[in-house]
Structure 1
Amino acid sequence: MQNKQFPETANVTLGDLLSPEELQQDFNTLKQRPTASGYALYATLPDAVVRHLESALLPHGAQLGIARTPGGIICAVLATQAGPVQVRFIVPLLTDKAKAWLTEAAEEKHQMQFTVEIVETHQLALVQVINPLADDTQGQWPALKAMLDKPMPRMDLLEQAQELKSLLGVLADERESLLPGLPIKVVWYVLVTEFLVPPEPGSASHPSGSVH
């Protein structure tokens, strides 16, 4: 049985998911452009947290899990930890973009990455983390990929946001350190707002007068 670690401070912020094109657009504004391609998560975090994540002197760990909201939305939970600082991205797998992000990580095996805007300076940093799917010795990906093809519950944007908030409450009670013997002192939860926009009433996919 694993021991739960309760950090001294827990924080919540909103995040995003960048397509390869959006990632390049973000870094085109910089004089020194980091080498980056593919999809990237996005968050705004304090400088002290980013310094931990970028440090080569601290032990690092990463973990990718799958969780369901109370209403049945499947989410990927990417946790990365550097020393006593942990960041957890909660990504609803509702859109083709989100599914492509996870598929890329599973099938191309490169490092997972996220772009961070530093709160104090508004500068951008690219953080690359160990890809937990790069060594899928248990063959979990085919089963997960089949799960992504199943229909998701239909919800409006507010309901999707409420589902993500409910899942956050569950995950907050299950948090644990990714580094044995090193307790978490600070954790940031990033709720990635990659929501599925419902079709407008009267559209081809949502005709007027239809029965649900």
Structure 2
Amino acid sequence: MAVIKKGLVIRKVKHIGISGAFIMALGGAGVLFTGCNKGGNQEEEYSYEEVSYTKGVISHIKEVKPGEFQITDEESVPASDAKAIVSYLDGHTDTLSVETSKALIDKEIANSGTQYHSSGLSSMLLYGGMGYMLGSMMGNNRIAQQRAAYPNNAGFYGSPAAYNKAQAAQQDVSASRSVRTVKSRPTNSRSGFMGARGSRSSGG
């Protein structure tokens, strides 16, 4: 089963006599560690939260006028099947992956600034289920902040029924969330930097 993961900032650091610090970010998983230099105590423990979702969203988007789009349907699916399906006036259809959708959203936000919202395709991706996934599930703060600045997204959907179904799909995705706390030691400890000390899982 495919799982979308993100790491959150340290929950707890156990350390005596820190004389320096370093920060290492693992970009792909978004995991952030904090720790000490080589002079640190060997019994330090590093811990972080790994948040996983087993469900994602398929967003169906339709061009209704040249350059203008609406979200016509959204449904929850296994995370590995998440995508956006775009139907154009000329009859052709594109399938956009999560990565492609993110690239389109990032480009539009960069070009338009913080007040960005329109009837274009990137707006449908940003304020629909795809933006929800990228902002909430994957920890993309820039997208999350953009959505928060314009919270009334019902107008991006083709009908109230489509909007209500989308909200239910997003709730289904949220219900698939689970959290695992991972503990590890630095390189100068007996277990090595990534030596797991234990973990616990919880639904959320």
Identify the TM-score tier after normalising by the shorter chain: under 0.3
> Going by fraction, where is strand more abundant, 1 or 2?
2
- Identify the structure with bigger relative contact order (alpha carbons < 8 Å, sequence gap 6+): 1
